[in-house]
Amino acid sequence: MEQMKQPEELGDRQPVRKKISMRIPETTKKRIVVIGGGFGGIEMIKEILPDDRFQVVLLDKHNYHTFQPLLYQVATAGLEPDSIAAPLRRIFKQKNDFYFRMAEVKRIIPEENCIDTNIGSLRYDYLVIASGSKTNYYGMEEVKQKAFPMKKISQALDLRSKILQNYEKALLADNDKDINCLMDIVIVGGGPTGVELAGAIAELRKYVLPKDLPELDFRKMDIYLLEAGGRLLNGMSDVAGRKALKYLENFGVIVKFHSVVKSYDGRTVVLKDGTTIETETLIWAAGVMGNTIPGLRAETMKGNRYVVDSYNRIIGYDNIFALGDVAGMITENQPKGHPMVAPVAVQQGKNLGKNIKKLEEGKNLKPFTYKDKGSMATIGRNRAVVDLSRFKFSGFLAWFVWMSVHLFTLIGFRNKVATFINWTWNYFTYDRATRLIIRPFRGCTPEERDE
């Protein structure tokens, strides 16, 4: 089987490196630099450490890992953000020769085995890019400036504040048009995020908001889910898509297929067929793209993802790898690359960690093979859909499986307990305990919108 080449520049290794500006200790060990503290980066590091042959440096713009599958619950007042976030230093606190720096990587300089960041530069022996994905607005800058994405905790908190602030404003509005514009919500994208958001907001409308704001008539609040295709949950089975549609329609969500957004000015959504919808809250869950970093050759890119071989090595480089959403592993079964979901990143991270150790030992490397264990989505209490390889089911059992899987995969015992307590409270009381406008939303700068 093909072996990865040792980086050429390591042949004349010096016993001690030059001092660098990030205050990372000098070492004669192989330094692995990991960009991104998401699922792939974390699993790769767990597989590598402890191993006294390596020094591992993790870089991320935030000092915490975000459990993105539950972001929508932060946005809809079901969970506090610290229930789905775990400090990166705590995850690896007992690992030797591990260092974390909160930094934004500006550029990769492969000719020098170096990266530039906002806090300095750093040399690497192996570079692992696990920078995840960012929202894809398909070139619509106006939508980018006005819509609400769902990729970060700060964005989920902004959305939560915006929704609650709008209802406070609706109490003071003096005409029905303004009231409806403040109360109505439009969600773009019929994938798991869009479907789960629609279900959670519908539950708010039915069980929670009428008790908080009895002066408002929430029967007039419309929730739209716009999907460009002809079905929901496109990555799942037709059975799951039809069942999700039925659940949402029972909740009173207005689902519109073949609906493509043309523009949005902060108040009016214009569709390509000329239809308009008035709302101050447009949630964009219509797609993502790889969060790439400047510096590598143009031919390494395809569709905003790095083209990688079966070992997650970026084509044309011997010591630079990509994982998860940002990696495009083109195969006969996956002509567009693997789906941009957490299980792919987790499995790729584990496999790459093992392969880097094998590389150091001169052993044959194991090509990555994705094991699809199934997909699932929830549409409110007692309602979910689950697709497994042999079974497809929905309803309460699917909802229980969904909850169990997400609790199990949350990082940190405290987060598991806090989330379980919140879910139990919500289930028996029909209440959302975090309906707080802690940080009022006043708009975002272009830099804050750019993930």
What pLDDT is stored for residue 17 in this prediction? 42
pLDDT the model gives residue 448: 56
pLDDT of 13 strictly over 70: no
The model's confidence at residue 436, banded by pLDDT at 50, 70 and 90, is confident
Query: What's 301's DSSP letter?
Result: B
pLDDT tens-digit profile of 25-42? 888 999 999 999 999 999
Query: Which stretch of 163-177, 302-316, 353-367, 436-450 has the lowest confidence by average pLDDT?
Result: 436-450
pLDDT at 443: 74
- Which pLDDT tens digit goes with each residue over 158-168? 999 999 999 99
Would you put residue 324 in left (φ > 0), alpha (ψ -120 to 50) or beta? left
Neighbouring CB atoms inside 10 A of 157's CB total 20
pLDDT at residue 1 greater than cutoff 70? no
Q: Counting beta carbons within 10 angstroms of the beta carbon of residue 111, is it exposed (0 to 12), middle (13 to 18) or buried (19 or more)?
A: exposed
Q: Does residue 232 register a pLDDT over 50?
A: yes
Mean pLDDT of the region 2-31: 61
C-beta neighbour count of 60 within 10 angstroms:
23
Count of Cβ atoms closer than 10 Å to residue 205 Cβ: 20
Q: Residue 139 contacts by C-beta under 8 Å, 6 or more apart in sequence?
A: none
Candidates 407, 410, 309; CA nearest to 365 is 309
The first and second tokens of residue 2, run together, are 């093909």
- DSSP state, residue 205: I
Q: How confident is the model at residue 95 (pLDDT cuts 50, 70, 90)?
A: confident
What average pLDDT score do residues 394-418 get?
94
CA–CA distance, 80 with 152 (Å, rounded to integer): 13
Of residues 21 and 337, which shows the higher confidence score?
337
Residues ≥6 apart with Cβ < 8 Å to 185? 163, 201, 221, 222, 223, 224, 279, 281, 283
Of 2-16, 138-152, 249-263, the one with minimum mean pLDDT is 2-16
Residue 249 has what pLDDT? Answer: 97
Average pLDDT over residues 345-353: 97
- What average pLDDT does this structure show over 342-353? 96
**What pTM does this model have?**
0.90
> How large is the average pLDDT for residues 123-129?
97
pLDDT tens, position by position, 189-228: 999 999 999 999 999 999 999 999 999 999 999 999 999 9
